[in-house]
Amino acid sequence: MKRWFFLLVAALGLALSQQPAPLKIGVVVSATGPAASLGIPEKNTFLLLEEEANKRGVAGHRVQFIILDDASDTTQAVRSTRKLIQEDGVLAIIGTTTTPASLGMIDVVAEAKVPMISLAASKAIIAPVDAKRTWVFKTPQTEELMARAIVADMKERGVKSVAYIGFNDAYGEGWWTFFSQEAKEGGINVVASERYARTDTSVTGQILKIIAARPDAVLVGASGTPAVLPQRTLNERGYKGLIYQTHGVANPDFLRVGGKDVEGTLLPAGPILVAEQLPAGFPSKRPSLDYITRYETKFGIGSYSTFGAHAYDAWLILRPALERALKNASPDNLAAFRAALRDELEATKNVVASHGVFSFSKEDHLGLRFQDTAVMVQVQNGRWKLVRTFR
Amino acid sequence: MDWTIFSFLLADGLQNGTIYALLALCLVLVFAVTRVILVPLGELLMFAPLSYALLLQGQFPGTAWLSAAMLVAWALLDRNRLRLALALLLLAGVVLGLAYWGSHGAPGWVAWLLAVLIVLPMGPATYRLFFEPLPHGTVLVYLILAVGLHFVYQGLGLVFFGPEQYRPPALLSGEASLGTVPLPRQVFVVYAFAFLAMLGLYLFFTRSLYGKALRACAVNRLGARISGINPSEAGRVAFLLATAIAAVSGMLIAPLVNAAYFMGFLLGLKGFVAGILGGLISYPMAVGGALVVGLLESYSSFTASAYKEAIVFALLLPVLFWRSLRTLELGGEEE
Amino acid sequence: MRPLLLVLLALLLLAPLFLPPFYITLLNFVAFGSLVALGLYLLTGMAGMTSFGQAAFMGLAAYATALLTTKMGLSPWLTLPIGLLFAGVGALVLGGLTVRLKGHYLPLSTIAWQMALFIVLGSWTALTGGHTGLPDLPAVSIMGFSFRTEDSFYYLSWAFALLAAWGAANLTGSRVGRALRALRGDAVAAASFGVHPPSLKLQVFLLAALLAGLAGWLYAHFLRFVNPSPFGLEASIKYLIMAVVGGIGSIPGVFLGASLITGLEEWLKDILPKVFGRTGNYEVIAYGLVLVVILILAPRGLWPFLERYLPHPTPRRPQGMGLPARQVQGLEVPKGEVILEVERLSKAFGGLLAVCDLSFQLRRGEVLGLIGPNGAGKSTCFNLITGVHAPTKGQVRFKGQAISGLAPFTVHEKGIGRTFQHPHLFPEMTVLENAALGTYARTRAGMLSCLLGTNRREEAAALSEAYRALERVGLAELAHHKAGGLALGQQRLLEIARALASSPEVLLLDEPAAGLRAAEKLELARLIRRLAAEGITVLLVDHDMDLVMGLVDRVVVMHYGEKLAEGTPREVQKNPKVIEAYLGQEVA
């Protein structure tokens, strides 16, 4: 009896050891620190994706996501990236959540020649596509795209002057840069530019200054629940104009904390925010609903976030690229495989994802078409309501 | 800037300043008795309203587990004092029971009290577990220890409550007008509490024998022990008082400013600034310093909001310089 | 210790050959952290000034180099001194304000400008690129070789780190190092033997800032990207943690701390997901707990634990001639002439008149006793003479020159040495180092010379001078013991030795015999007699009448701040007013 047992174990061992090594993908996200509300759903999404991907495997290989938290800090992000490349020998890097940390990572991935898909907002991460950025792609819409959506909406509503109040960090700064540019091109006058910190307990001074300038609309460049504060203060001080937020508030906590104060807010968002309300022909409708269902099954109803969807989109792009690369190259030859993977990523065409349709090219490593990637949403009765698309 | 704006900013500055003042009082209190700069005070401030928010949602707050665990650890450390250990274990059970009751349909005002009671044991337990084992530390070592605790509590805050803010209901809702400026009624409760706390601490520490005994422990630990004062007990009392004030403050201000796991640190830092302006020894001066910081912040947020913090901190320098000149000459300080 | 050091150096040199590349990356970060922590060793560990602002200086230099290399195309080697210049100027401006602050105000002011600088870096978008940062910095290169990989940069950063450590070690065992440690313990005592607190504090502040600036330049060219986040308050706190956890009082300590904290961060990221699963984010909590536990178990840092297991070199007895004879300042006063004169001296503290209209003269070569009941104002008189207080009225003249109101270090430089009623020693330093403090005013080596180690000869002479002073008071066998372990009598002798090492013309002894046993008092009396015979003028305060009367040439009696009587011991003993003051009216 013992003999059979040992033979069985040996056979199993032999069989298992014949399995090809897992495909290692490095992930860096900000699961703690100021960007945690964006990073946690991203991290959760990767856990979900790993589980699912390994049910069927990718071209016969298992997938392993090695996930590191950078605590929203540049130095940590760079260190984590180096670790993933040097210690773990990953095939590609996905991350990170914030713009400055992503920028810091560019040098590392370019030096090591590893493809990277960023989950951060700024255009500077992927443009212009030079010798370094040839290795870098990204999935979230740039502030430029979303700002264009806002300006288009403002023009339609006859807004002539706008005031801006944003976070005193890379997010608020990036939004200011691109929004003020788009507003200028669209002929809208920006009358005030204020800043506040995520941890602030009041923005009375800034709001008073804004109200004194009498703008038709106010744009709040913030993310998460701290974005409620300026809006609430505006209401308390009797501001009657339009209030716009950015897609950084597209999570259920914003509605919960904002309550009546955020009723009527307008914001640009990726289509996934209002997935069920999208018209039938909208490309991202199916992938969005798909993602929402799977995420909520694992993590609870109402728990999905549009930021987690960026992570999902990254996989929707990376997976087929991996499959294509595996046809011609083997992960055992790391350098060659990474280069092949990069080429296949760049060759991505018409991938229908939750935030739009991705088609990369040599000059464009974002590859989103404006019409498919941004919709205008308004908060009505405590819910997100689709008010217009740009198709 | 016209008069209306000026008065709005004044009200805003006073509100923020009062928040800093409450924190400053707690920091001065703890430092005056134990020479510990309680960096995690910000987290203790936020734990109570966050727990309250979870109770109202019918969820069992993680802070109850933390509180109970700390009490159990304390009981283990003092296991040779059987009665104390048993009492602590019992208290741990009570905390869990209160949290259970609060999350299963206790009325709002009861949940309010329960939230404070759940967080309260964390104060003296913090002292007993982390600072009492080190009776002869320097101020710098205590400070780094406190920073370590801040990481722990803030990290736990993220785990228990998630990254977003909560907005618990106010005790007094609606607004009242003071002149042309409408103020939320809740803010008057905050002012009243701050004033009472300041007065109470001032009287306690300068007029009562027990209060003076507590202060003696920080000045000369050996001398205090020889005089029959127990410095360990003094430390626990000071931490308990500070946590109580912080927890109640947090409950009162959260409806005004929202509560999140990350908001405590910067509030504590500004409270620390105010406390230093009072030399870390005087309560009225700490409150005064806090109001100054709050007002400075309010007016610079109007004039140059991107640089608001920079202005406040930069303007601090000449004030520090002036304050420092007024203390004694050469040979004033130990560390 | 030497061979151990060499082994360590060899390991460091060969590390890139046998360690995986990621460890080399980490070692680079350890080097940066060590540089900043080394600055904290000097600033906080030695001079006792806690700073929460070192990351701001890193940021100043990092941004300077980032802007100059990207926008103006300068070479990084050129931007290194410029970056250091920025950090240095920043230090001088801010330090000029900060080092004069006392007690808690000092750390708070470091927090203040740390936060202010961080916000300016982030908000002045036009200049600094704001929070998004400045990308694409060039790599450092020498003659075509580019330090791009972590291996090559490793040698660069550790070369700098070791250089800085060498300089700090030189500084520690030098006169400036001793003076810094004296400043931290006891500014009054330090001033009494010639230390200028404000200028020295500013110098060490500047040095710490330069070290941080160097770390900033290295950081910027390693990452080739700068943004404000590594230069904020959290970063400053982290460097302070590194220094404290490793042991802020020693150079190996801060290197140990930097390695430990850097390694801990990575190790936790590896271990925790395996233990707690990947859905949690517990690294920060674990990090805090580890910190707390380390500090409770090792409040002085981990290095003191390890140090005990290392072999200690046997200290050598200082050889040599000692210092050249001290240049006598001012006139040469012949024996018997007035050398120190107190004229109508008064000092009021608020409403309390401690010294009132006091006048007496001290003649060259004599031993003068100043006696009186407790509270008579004797110590205050000493403080007035040595410049610790300025008189409300009246004058003190030394060799004809008015010295009242001058700073203590200036008074000391003129040739007056003193001891204190309660010994003001530095328990962490050895007996020899304490005595060597007395030579501070007789030596010249500045901060730079001490850093570079060009002061060896002067240092050897100073140490042998101090050793001779120890021999004179009989403490030579204890030369390498820590001063904290001495008995009271020995402490008093050490204070005298320190004063002797300064080769004073006038020696003020404040209750040198208090707490000594009879045999020790006899020794002390003999010592003082020997000193007087060698030409030192002694002004002595004490309560032991037998000692005083048998030792001194003349006596001045004080009572309630005024001079009650003056004369030879015999005259004063018979003076009825004196008897009344000490014993009451009836006995007279």
pLDDT tens digits along C21-70:
899 999 999 999 999 999 999 999 998 889 999 999 999 999 999 999 99
Distance CA C265, CA C273 (A): 13
User: At residue C581, does pLDDT exceed 80?
Assistant: no
Write the pLDDT tens digit of every residue in B100-119: 998 888 888 899 999 999 99
- Positive/negative CA dihedral, B208, B209, B212, B213: negative
- Round the average pLDDT of chain C to a whole number and report it: 87
Amino acid at site A47: L
Return the SS3 of C139: coil
CA dihedral (A304, A307, A311, A314) in degrees, to 10, reads: 130
Query: What ipTM, to 2 d.p.?
Result: 0.90
The DSSP 8-state label assigned to residue C230 in this structure reads G
Tell how strand A356-358 and strand A351-353 pair up.
antiparallel
List, in order, residues 6 or more apart from B246 with CB less than 8 Å away: B22, B23, B26, B41, B44, B45, B48
- Phi and psi for C371 in degrees, rounded to 5? -125, 170
- What is the distance between the terminal CA atoms of chain B, rounded to a whole angstrom? 45
Return the SS3 of C428: coil
pLDDT value, residue C155? 93
Q: Looking at chain B from residue 236 to 255, which residues have their Cβ under 8 Å from any Cβ of chain A?
A: 253
- Evaluate whether B21 touches B14 at the Cβ level (below 8 Å): no
E-state strands within A180-313: 189-196, 217-221, 242-245, 266-269
Distance from C108 to chain B by nearest Cα, in Å? 7
Element (H, E) at A28: strand A23-29
Distance CA A23, CA A64 (A): 6
β-bridge partners, A190: A162
E-state strands within chain B: 175-178, 181-184
Q: Length of chain C, please?
A: 588
Tell how strand A375-380 and strand A356-358 pair up.
unpaired
pLDDT value, residue C145? 86
Average pLDDT of C387-404? Answer: 88
Cβ–Cβ of C132/A100 closer than 8 Å?
Answer: yes
Q: Could you tell me if residue B175 is inside a domain?
A: no
Q: Domains along chain C?
A: 2-307 (1.10.3470), 335-415+504-517+533-588 (3.40.50.300), 429-503 (no CATH)
- Cut 0.80: pTM above it: yes
Q: Which residues of C touch B280 (CB under 8 A)?
A: 104
Question: Within 10 A of A259 (CB to CB), how many other CB atoms are there?
Answer: 12
Q: Could you tell me if residue B289 is inside a domain?
A: no
Q: Is C33 exposed, middle or buried (0-12, 13-18, 19+ CB in 10 A)?
A: buried
For chain A, 391 residues long, give each residue's pLDDT as a single digit of tens.
566 666 666 666 555 555 678 899 999 999 988 888 899 999 999 999 999 999 988 888 999 999 999 998 899 999 999 999 999 999 999 989 999 999 999 999 999 999 999 999 999 999 889 999 999 999 999 999 999 999 999 999 999 999 999 999 889 999 999 999 999 999 999 999 999 999 898 999 999 999 999 999 999 999 989 999 999 999 988 999 999 999 999 888 899 899 899 999 999 999 999 999 999 889 999 999 999 999 999 988 878 889 999 999 999 999 999 999 999 888 888 999 999 999 999 999 999 999 999 999 999 999 999 989 999 999 999 999 999 998 8
List, in order, residues 6 or more apart from A7 with CB less than 8 Å away: none
Q: Looking at chain C from residue 418 to 457, which residues have their Cβ under 8 Å from any Cβ of chain B?
A: none
- Phi and psi for A164 in degrees, rounded to 5? -125, 135
A263: left (phi over 0), alpha (psi -120 to 50) or beta: beta
pLDDT value, residue A5? 66
Tell how strand A242-245 and strand A217-221 pair up.
parallel
Element (H, E) at C367: strand C367-371
Give the percent of chain B with pLDDT over 90.
54
β-bridge partners, A164: A193, A219
- Evaluate whether C554 touches C567 at the Cβ level (below 8 Å): yes
Distance CA A273, CA A263 (A): 17
Average pLDDT of C280-298? Answer: 91
Question: Within 10 A of B42 (CB to CB), how many other CB atoms are there?
Answer: 29
List, in order, residues 6 or more apart from B67 with CB less than 8 Å away: B92, B95, B118, B119, B120, B121, B122, B125
Give me Rg for the CA atoms of chain A. 22
- Evaluate whether A245 touches A267 at the Cβ level (below 8 Å): yes
Cβ–Cβ of B147/C248 closer than 8 Å?
Answer: no
Residue C565 binned pLDDT confidence (cut-offs 50, 70, 90): confident
DSSP states of C243-270: HHHH-TTSHHHHHHHHHHHHHHHHHHHH
pLDDT value, residue C587? 52
Distance CA C149, CA A108 (A): 10
Distance from A74 to chain C by nearest Cα, in Å? 7
User: At residue C316, does pLDDT exceed 80?
Assistant: no
Residue with tokens 């100027």: C89
Distance CA C495, CA C513 (A): 12
Structure tokens given for B209? 């024998």
The residue in chain A having the minimum alpha-carbon distance to the alpha carbon of residue C119 is A168
- Evaluate whether C181 touches C197 at the Cβ level (below 8 Å): no
Q: Domains along chain A?
A: 17-141+289-370 (3.40.50.2300), 143-269 (3.40.50.2300)
CA dihedral (A28, A29, A34, A35) in degrees, to 10, reads: 140
Give the percent of chain C with pLDDT over 70.
98
pLDDT value, residue C584? 65
Which residue of A75, A113, A125, A130 is the best one to mutate when testing the C interface, meaning the one whose CB has the most C CBs within 10 A? A75
Q: Determine if the peptide bond prior to A96 is cis (ω within 30°).
A: yes
- Evaluate whether C70 touches C134 at the Cβ level (below 8 Å): yes
Structure tokens given for C486? 């001495």
- Evaluate whether A172 touches B284 at the Cβ level (below 8 Å): no
Question: What is the greatest pairwise CA distance in chain A?
Answer: 89
Whether chain B has a CB inside 8 Å of the CB on C234: the answer is no
Chain C partners (3+ C-beta pairs within 8 A) = A, B
Q: Is C457 exposed, middle or buried (0-12, 13-18, 19+ CB in 10 A)?
A: exposed
Q: Could you tell me if residue B306 is inside a domain?
A: no
Distance from A112 to chain B by nearest Cα, in Å? 33
Residue numbers of the domain that contains B116: 21-166+182-283
Whether chain B has a CB inside 8 Å of the CB on A208: the answer is yes
Write the pLDDT tens digit of every residue in A159-178: 999 999 999 988 999 999 99
The interaxial angle of helices B185-207 and B283-303, nearest 10 deg, is 150
Distance CA B25, CA B23 (A): 5
Whether chain A has a CB inside 8 Å of the CB on C122: the answer is yes
Q: Which residues of B touch C188 (CB under 8 A)?
A: 330-331
* Least CB–CB distance from C225: residue in A80, A107, A168: A107
Q: Is C325 exposed, middle or buried (0-12, 13-18, 19+ CB in 10 A)?
A: exposed
Structure tokens given for B194? 């701050």
pLDDT value, residue A17? 55
Q: Could you tell me if residue B94 is inside a domain?
A: yes
Average pLDDT of B158-166? Answer: 91
Report in angstroms the alpha-carbon separations of A145 from A103, A130, A372, C353, C501: 19, 21, 11, 80, 77
Residue B329 binned pLDDT confidence (cut-offs 50, 70, 90): very low
pLDDT value, residue A12? 62
- Helix (H), strand (E) counts: chain A: 13, 14
Average pLDDT of C380-404? Answer: 88
Distance from A190 to chain C by nearest Cα, in Å? 18
Average pLDDT of B268-274? Answer: 90
β-bridge partners, A281: none
Residue C559 binned pLDDT confidence (cut-offs 50, 70, 90): confident
Structure tokens given for C554? 């003349």
- Phi and psi for C563 in degrees, rounded to 5? -80, 125
Report in angstroms the alpha-carbon separations of C347 from A244, C373, C401, C538: 71, 18, 20, 23
Cβ–Cβ of B269/C188 closer than 8 Å?
Answer: no
Structure tokens given for C344? 């109508």
Q: What angle do CA C420, C424, C426 make, to 5 degrees?
A: 155
* Least CB–CB distance from A31: residue in C25, C230, C281: C281
- Evaluate whether C386 touches C360 at the Cβ level (below 8 Å): no
Residue with tokens 């929203």: A72
Residue C1 binned pLDDT confidence (cut-offs 50, 70, 90): low
Residue B315 binned pLDDT confidence (cut-offs 50, 70, 90): confident
* Least CB–CB distance from B306: residue in A34, A195, A208: A195
pLDDT value, residue C197? 80
Whether chain B has a CB inside 8 Å of the CB on C241: the answer is yes
Give me Rg for the CA atoms of chain C. 29
Amino acid at site A49: L
Whether chain B has a CB inside 8 Å of the CB on C69: the answer is no
Distance from C227 to chain A by nearest Cα, in Å? 7
- Phi and psi for B180 in degrees, rounded to 5? -90, -5
Residue B84 binned pLDDT confidence (cut-offs 50, 70, 90): very high
